[in-house]
Structure 1
Amino acid sequence: MKLGIVIFPSKKVQDFANSYRKRYDPNYSLIPPHITLKPAFTVPDEGMEQLTIKLNEISNSNKPFQIQSTKFSSFKPVNNVIYLKIDSCDELSELQKKLNETIDIDNPEYAFVPHISVGQKLSDDEHSDVYGTLRMNQFNLEDTVDRFHLLYQLENGSWTVYETFRLGRE
């Protein structure tokens, strides 16, 4: 089964991100705005129970925390992705690190950069245009993270929640 682990932000943050995603992100209809904690990986069906036990342990040992975003950024020249930059936060980095150490499957291709993608697969010219405009925007989005989600991919390429893990239940 193809899986991923993400944080879905509040409706306010999702609405803000979607106001851009519907124009600039071809994955808009496949998954809501999210922060990827563990990119797509594969686990056989018989490994799901053990995986959820490990994820429960991680969620129980981490407390809810605050995140903030105040600007757009880009991964150019690596790829033409525009995103809401999530400010550095020890709790978020620690959660992501624990997940990757515990689920040592398919090591991530890139270093962890907390973000919510709002534009992808843009041509060079379109990327320059859109990013040039978006980075002038001023905003301050704050949110409380109190859960993460294990997702699985459906045959049509969309993602849906397999299980939700609430932080700090110990």
Structure 2
Amino acid sequence: MKYGVVAFPSKKLQDLANSYRKRYDPHYSLITPHMTLKGVFEANDEEIEELSRKIGEVVKKHRAFPLHATRISSFSPVTNAIYFKVEPNEEMLSLHKDLHSDELGGAAEYAFVPHITIAQKMASGEHDDIFGQLRMAGVDHKEMIDRLHLLYQLEDGSWTVYETFRLNGDKS
């Protein structure tokens, strides 16, 4: 089964993201707007029990962190995805690093670019047009993230919460 670890932003930011996603993201109905902290990985029922326990141990070491969506950006030309850029901070980067320890499957497949996707899988011309429009609209949103969610993918392709972890740890 496929799993991943994400942070869900507040309803306010989700509603803003969804105002774009419903038009420009074919995954709109499959997953709530989110910031991925550990990308998709495979695990069976026994493995996920152990991985969930290990994620819980990692999360105990971390505090809530600020999420600041500062602008609209794109992964073009690598992929025609448009997103809310989230400013990285020390706590977020440390948490991401700890979620990619050898015990939890090792290094991330891609460099960590904190973001919330609002559009994807568009033709290049459409991407360029939409990106130009959205970039002018901009975004500036701040909030605190105090929990992470281990998700799993259902047979229909949608994602649902397997377990929720509170970020209330202390690294001292």
Q: Normalised by the shorter chain, which TM-score bucket?
A: over 0.9
Identity of aligned residues (%): 53
SS of the counterpart of 1:135?
A: helix
Q: Residue 96 of structure 2 corresponds to which residue in structure 1?
A: 96
Q: Distance in 1 between matches of 2:43 and 2:14?
A: 28
Residues 52-61 or 69-78, more deviating = 52-61
Q: Distance in 1 between matches of 2:58 and 2:41?
A: 18
Q: Judge conservation of contact 2:72–2:138 (CA < 8 Å) in 1.
A: no
Residues matched between the structures, number: 169
Q: Distance in 2 between matches of 1:89 and 1:145?
A: 12
Q: Per-residue CA shift, 1:27-51, capped at 9, x if unaligned?
A: 0000000001111101121112211
Q: Judge conservation of contact 2:80–2:123 (CA < 8 Å) in 1.
A: yes
Pairwise CA RMSD of aligned residues? 1.2
Q: Distance in 2 between matches of 1:100 and 1:109?
A: 10
Q: Per-residue CA shift, 1:93-138, capped at 9, x if unaligned?
A: 1111100114115x54321100000000010000000001111124
**Could you tell me which amino acid in structure 2 is paired with residue 132 of structure 1?**
G
Map 1:41-60; keep pairs closer than 5 Å.
41-60=41-60
SS of the counterpart of 2:59?
A: helix
Q: Residue 15 of structure 2 corresponds to which residue in structure 1?
A: 15
Q: Judge conservation of contact 2:72–2:139 (CA < 8 Å) in 1.
A: no
Deviation at 1:55, TM superposition (A): 1.1
Q: Residue 116 of structure 2 corresponds to which residue in structure 1?
A: 116
**TM-score, structure 2 length as denominator?**
0.94
Q: Residue 155 of structure 2 corresponds to which residue in structure 1?
A: 155
Is there any run of 5+ residues in structure 1 with no aligned partner, and where?
none
Q: Which runs of 4+ in 1 moved over 6 A?
A: none
Deviation at 1:141, TM superposition (A): 0.5
Q: Judge conservation of contact 1:71–1:137 (CA < 8 Å) in 2.
A: no
**Could you tell me which amino acid in structure 2 is paired with residue 140 of structure 1?**
D
Q: Distance in 2 between matches of 1:3 and 1:47?
A: 11
Q: Residue 137 of structure 1 corresponds to which residue in structure 2?
A: 137
Is there any run of 5+ residues in structure 2 with no aligned partner, and where?
none
**TM-score, structure 1 length as denominator?**
0.95
Q: Judge conservation of contact 1:82–1:120 (CA < 8 Å) in 2.
A: yes
